[in-house]
Chain A
């Protein structure tokens, strides 16, 4: 909470983007999260990414479930569509929304509890279907909103604020997504905007399900000694595996690749992403290798970060289901609802 709303004035140098909006136009209500919450930093990175991508707010839908993380959709793009669903059901609601209107940019914001505990069954199917959406898990290892119970991402051996040691095996959303065939899998840290913002932009440009697991410390219940999701722990154990550079449509890649490991990925909408593997021999297009690498990091108590796997050619839900190319709302009524004669004809086929 803050005592006042954010003052309306901005730095005099504040610029407008290509669609005439300032960064302030991408802001939302004042955050009611705890001071210092990682989720607020993710919000700031999202605002930066939307502004840089010239995203029209009225063409976006903010989707979330329940949790501190899920509250954050209120804190950005106040002029967008949005749906705040039942706990864990955001992936399914987004799947439905996307089926009906494929023209919107879907921004799903969830928590480790929302996605990997109560909502696990929902999320895995959205991945399988390759629903075209940005899916951000603000991962703090606890249920922040309900005061800090361990969530499904809590590591074995990590300690709760009151000293209790966690013993159940965690679910790693990155490994899970890789096994389920996700076409865009990344991990980052709320405290590293230089890494996070280009990944968010790449995820928004990706057609298909773009999963970004963002370690986002809970400053009130999981930022102590013994936590593996604290600011200090992540800073000490994070290793950037792949450095990401988002290359907008109108900018050419001028810097020659100095490294053999530089891969340029052409996104569906014409943007490009330049990936530079800092781990020797790492190939962000090789799913098996990515899986193995991330696992080996876990063994070394390291956290692999960066855009770890991308397949820009993957087919999304609409491709797979051969749906009509336009949003349902734009179809003429006669094709959306062809009438009882058409229904009778179809039923006749099954008789």
Chain B
């Protein structure tokens, strides 16, 4: 086993589980520490560097960081990373003079962005400060994309959306609202230096079963949500069935309850354990009186004299075959009476406006052929990102795509190779302030995860835009940030200093450390650890041969608490705690480290 190369920023980056899992690689532990210090504006701006929309994402993010959070392996429940982001956003005060600005002198390059959703807005955010002339087309009257027209206001209040989209559009993008792009050929003819397609996956999936077109009260989920958002629809019939159990279904059923549905029932083909919706969304829906029914497959609509009266379903039983594939068998049928149905079974990409003879290739599934690193289509200068690139995902992926596409556009406009992208860098700074004194709070806080306060039900149903989540109280926030283990404060080891006294191994509360004879393979090494491997995907740090016995110091990163006790008990400072800061690359080079640091 060769010694671990900790000079490769990826090693320490992976130790920061949340930051590694975040598509935009937000520096979570640092922003949590800034909250702990009451530096909300600094925390907000640090967030904004990578994820652009802290207030929006602090309410709506799919939070891939949380299942990855180390605290979940140590103590079951991860840190409430997402909702702490909202704390920074809510309490940030006026930060307008600290936002990026577009220079007066432009660089002479013109870029068109199709769609004003999060992916395009991110591209604009990164390119405007570099002097680009950015034009954004959207068929709607306001910016935000699905964040505005699908996500209901009771989850994401309009002022939050307006403010954060406004930070970007206010930098001087030319906004062409209510201007659907109907021909790529025409757009290209306008001579832009680059075009970015961030038009999303705007088409709701259809359910082709008998009766689909026979009654007016059968809706497509995302169209229905948009109509509610536009206040074209303000009421719904008393008995509503929602077909599908993804995130859209959750928003539909909860909106239906607010528009007058007495019974809102969500019907899923699958068993509950295989639902797509996040567990917290299911909980919130059930708290609002939504019934969720599993193992039902729609068969036909029952329409009598133009009026929907019910729907027939096959009842399914799922079994797993030898290959682990789920198979269903029909065990019966059932009719569920209803007055309206909302279809929420998925979305599809639709770019009928891109002509087939422009050199922009599509695959057999009608998806554009897009390079996963550069986001470029098969036509140079035309880029895709967000849901338009690889199908429906979420906001934080759209943002991550936007950053990468902006880098490509910047390279493209400079006539440089898109694949010669600068790599991420890092800095490591000792966290030692003195004898047993650190620049972070290293003590382990055993508090349980904070629970979100919700608006009471009566108030919630009074208007579709009453926000449900009230945010954490200052006390809750202060306690919750202390649950973070500070995974960015790395245990950095210097082999030549170690005298093999065992002190670090003896003190480590979670048995992360081992000194052992050299082994040929990682598997062999794992057999000799102080505590068995529970998560083989978690890295092992392996030192070079130690001075006295030529044994190796090995650390299993899995459940390290970053408590710093190894460094405190080490007589020679062979272990040190060092703050790792990943230097991400954005269009135009390194973004200046936030003033916060």
A2 to B508, CA, bound (A): 12
Contact call A8/B444, Cβ cutoff below 8 A: yes
Contact call B74/A37, Cβ cutoff below 8 A: no
Instruction: Select one of A8, A36, A191, A232 contacting B569, CB under 8 A.
Output: A36
Which residues of B (543-574) have their CB < 8 Å from a CB of A?
548-549, 559, 561, 563-565, 568-572
Residues of B within 8 A of A13 (CB): 531-532, 534
A235 to B499, CA, bound (A): 11
Contact call A11/B501, Cβ cutoff below 8 A: no
B522 is an interface residue with CB less than 8 A from chain A: no
Q: Count chain A residues whose beta carbon lies closer than 8 angstroms to a beta carbon of B.
A: 32
| A44 to B: closest C-beta gap in Å | 4
Contact call B571/A8, Cβ cutoff below 8 A: no
B108 is an interface residue with CB less than 8 A from chain A: no
Which residues of B (428-444) have their CB < 8 Å from a CB of A?
435-438, 442-444
B502 is an interface residue with CB less than 8 A from chain A: yes
Contact call B532/A35, Cβ cutoff below 8 A: no
| A172 to B: closest C-beta gap in Å | 24
A3 is an interface residue with CB less than 8 A from chain B: yes
Residues of B within 8 A of A36 (CB): 499, 501, 503, 569-572
Contact call A35/B534, Cβ cutoff below 8 A: no
A10/B501 contact (C-beta < 8 A), A1-B436, A4-B442, A231-B548 known: no
A7 is an interface residue with CB less than 8 A from chain B: yes
Instruction: Select one of A6, A37, A38 contacting B565, CB under 8 A.
Output: A6
Residues of B within 8 A of A278 (CB): none
Contact call A41/B510, Cβ cutoff below 8 A: no
Chain B binding surface SS class:
loop
A8 to B74, CA, bound (A): 11
A9 is an interface residue with CB less than 8 A from chain B: yes
Contact call A3/B568, Cβ cutoff below 8 A: yes
A213 is an interface residue with CB less than 8 A from chain B: no
B509 is an interface residue with CB less than 8 A from chain A: yes
How many A-B pairs fall under 8 Å by CB? 105
A344 to B442, CA, bound (A): 69
A8 to B446, CA, bound (A): 8
Residues of A within 8 A of B559 (CB): 9, 11-12
Using an 8 Å CB-CB cutoff, how does the interface string of B506-545 with A read, 1 for contact, 0 for none? 1101111000000000000000000110100000000000
B205 is an interface residue with CB less than 8 A from chain A: no
| B211 to A: closest C-beta gap in Å | 53
A289 is an interface residue with CB less than 8 A from chain B: no
| B317 to A: closest C-beta gap in Å | 35
Look across to chain B and name the residue whose beta carbon is closest to the beta carbon of A48: B506
A40 is an interface residue with CB less than 8 A from chain B: yes
Contact call B73/A7, Cβ cutoff below 8 A: no
A21 is an interface residue with CB less than 8 A from chain B: no
Residues of B within 8 A of A3 (CB): 436-438, 442-443, 564, 568
Residues of B within 8 A of A12 (CB): 73-74, 534, 559
Residues of B within 8 A of A1 (CB): 435-436
Contact call B503/A191, Cβ cutoff below 8 A: no
Contact call B565/A41, Cβ cutoff below 8 A: no
Chain A binding surface SS class:
loop
Look across to chain A and name the residue whose beta carbon is closest to the beta carbon of B441: A4
Residues of B within 8 A of A235 (CB): 500, 548-549
| B495 to A: closest C-beta gap in Å | 15
A79 to B511, CA, bound (A): 23
B463 is an interface residue with CB less than 8 A from chain A: no
Instruction: Select one of A10, A35, A232 contacting B548, CB under 8 A.
Output: A232
Using an 8 Å CB-CB cutoff, how does the interface string of B2-42 with A read, 1 for contact, 0 for none? 00000000000000000000000000000000000000000
B286 is an interface residue with CB less than 8 A from chain A: no
| B370 to A: closest C-beta gap in Å | 41
Look across to chain A and name the residue whose beta carbon is closest to the beta carbon of B511: A11
Contact call B499/A9, Cβ cutoff below 8 A: no
Using an 8 Å CB-CB cutoff, how does the interface string of B37-55 with A read, 1 for contact, 0 for none? 0000000000000000000
Contact call A4/B571, Cβ cutoff below 8 A: no
Using an 8 Å CB-CB cutoff, how does the interface string of A19-42 with B read, 1 for contact, 0 for none? 000000000000000111110110
A219 to B506, CA, bound (A): 16
| B336 to A: closest C-beta gap in Å | 44
Which of A11, A193, A219 is the most central at the interface, judged by chain B CB atoms within 10 Å of its CB?
A11
A130 is an interface residue with CB less than 8 A from chain B: no
Using an 8 Å CB-CB cutoff, how does the interface string of A206-219 with B read, 1 for contact, 0 for none? 00000000000101
Contact call B436/A7, Cβ cutoff below 8 A: no
Which residues of B (147-169) have their CB < 8 Å from a CB of A?
none
A11/B507 contact (C-beta < 8 A), A36-B571, A41-B502, A231-B501 known: no
| B210 to A: closest C-beta gap in Å | 53
B75 is an interface residue with CB less than 8 A from chain A: yes
A11 to B531, CA, bound (A): 7
Which residues of A (165-223) have their CB < 8 Å from a CB of B?
190-191, 193, 217, 219, 223
Look across to chain A and name the residue whose beta carbon is closest to the beta carbon of B563: A7
A43 is an interface residue with CB less than 8 A from chain B: yes
A110 to B571, CA, bound (A): 23
Contact call B568/A35, Cβ cutoff below 8 A: yes
Look across to chain B and name the residue whose beta carbon is closest to the beta carbon of A192: B502
| B550 to A: closest C-beta gap in Å | 11
| B564 to A: closest C-beta gap in Å | 8
Contact call B510/A37, Cβ cutoff below 8 A: no
Residues of A within 8 A of B503 (CB): 35-37, 40-41
Which residues of A (27-71) have their CB < 8 Å from a CB of B?
34-38, 40-41, 43-44
Residues of A within 8 A of B506 (CB): 40-41, 43-44
Residues of B within 8 A of A223 (CB): 499
| B443 to A: closest C-beta gap in Å | 4
Look across to chain A and name the residue whose beta carbon is closest to the beta carbon of B512: A11
Instruction: Select one of A11, A35, A44, A191 contacting B571, CB under 8 A.
Output: A35
Instruction: Select one of A4, A5, A7, A191 contacting B501, CB under 8 A.
Output: A191
| B507 to A: closest C-beta gap in Å | 7
A336 to B510, CA, bound (A): 50
Residues of A within 8 A of B500 (CB): 191, 231, 235
A98 to B33, CA, bound (A): 55
Look across to chain A and name the residue whose beta carbon is closest to the beta carbon of B510: A11
Residues of A within 8 A of B570 (CB): 35-36
Look across to chain A and name the residue whose beta carbon is closest to the beta carbon of B502: A41
Contact call B561/A231, Cβ cutoff below 8 A: no
A7 to B564, CA, bound (A): 11
Which of B75, B438, B549, B571 is the most central at the interface, judged by chain A CB atoms within 10 Å of its CB?
B571
6 A-B pairs besides A7-B509, A9-B561 with CB distance below 8 A are: A12-B534, A36-B503, A37-B501, A191-B501, A232-B548, A235-B548
5 tightest A-B CB contacts, nearest first: A36-B571, A7-B444, A44-B506, A3-B436, A11-B531
User: What are 29 A-B contacts defined by CB distance under 8 Å?
Assistant: A2-B507, A2-B565, A3-B443, A3-B568, A4-B442, A4-B444, A6-B507, A6-B565, A7-B444, A8-B444, A9-B74, A9-B510, A10-B510, A11-B531, A12-B73, A14-B531, A35-B570, A38-B501, A40-B569, A41-B502, A43-B506, A191-B500, A191-B501, A191-B502, A219-B499, A231-B499, A231-B548, A235-B548, A235-B549
